[in-house]
Amino acid sequence: MQRVGGTFKNWAGFERVELLVAFCIAATLFFLVVPAFIRGRTAVQEEKMKAALRLFHSANEAYRITSNHGYAASVGALTDASKGRRYLEPWWGTLAQYGYRLAYKTDRTAIPAHFSLVAERKTAFATDSATLCVDERGLVFRDSHPARAGAESGAACSGGIVVV
């Protein structure tokens, strides 16, 4: 390659070292951006699930008040429109949404009756293993576990912190 009058003569393209430097810069940017993207996506999914758990509580309370049978025996009872009312959208029947797996438990024979809906993160790229839980009190707990049967408080979610 010769320089003639301010221009390069016989310019053949990039050299290997230049391509390697460009690749290293691109790889560094990639490894900085992807984890931030995953953290942001996980935070959004958690916020959506918190809102969904609050919605579930409201729907189960509405079911309890209108049916006079206590809380729903299953999530399917809240999504079934055959009885004239559907309290939740049909996707709730899949028990999986926003990267979380859902588990519903109820004890309609207890006085007072109680329920819990536990959401466990199921995504492979999650940086932590957050568990969310809502019960008849309407509070959403983070890193909570369903209480064992016969718990003194009668609440279905115990431990963890209340999230806003």
Q: Let me know if residue 37 belongs to a domain.
A: yes
The pLDDT tens digits for 17-63 are: 888 999 999 999 999 998 888 888 888 989 999 999 999 999 999 99
Query: What predicted TM-score, i.e. pTM, was given to this entire model?
Result: 0.73
Distance in angstroms (rounded) separating the CA atoms of residues 20 and 38: 27
Q: Let me know if residue 4 belongs to a domain.
A: no
- How many domains does the chain contain in total? 1
Q: Let me know if residue 65 belongs to a domain.
A: yes
The pLDDT tens digits for 81-124 are: 777 788 999 888 888 888 899 999 988 777 778 899 999 888 66
Q: Let me know if residue 25 belongs to a domain.
A: yes
Instruction: Tell me the residue range of the domain where 147 lies.
Output: 13-162
Q: Let me know if residue 112 belongs to a domain.
A: yes
Distance in angstroms (rounded) separating the CA atoms of residues 38 and 44: 10
- Which own/partner contact pairs does 17-23 have at CB distance under 8 Å and 24+ positions apart? none
- Among 58, 137, 127, residue whose Cα is nearest residue 99: 127
Distance in angstroms (rounded) separating the CA atoms of residues 125 and 133: 21
Q: Let me know if residue 5 belongs to a domain.
A: no
Check whether the bond before 90 is cis (ω within 30° of 0): no
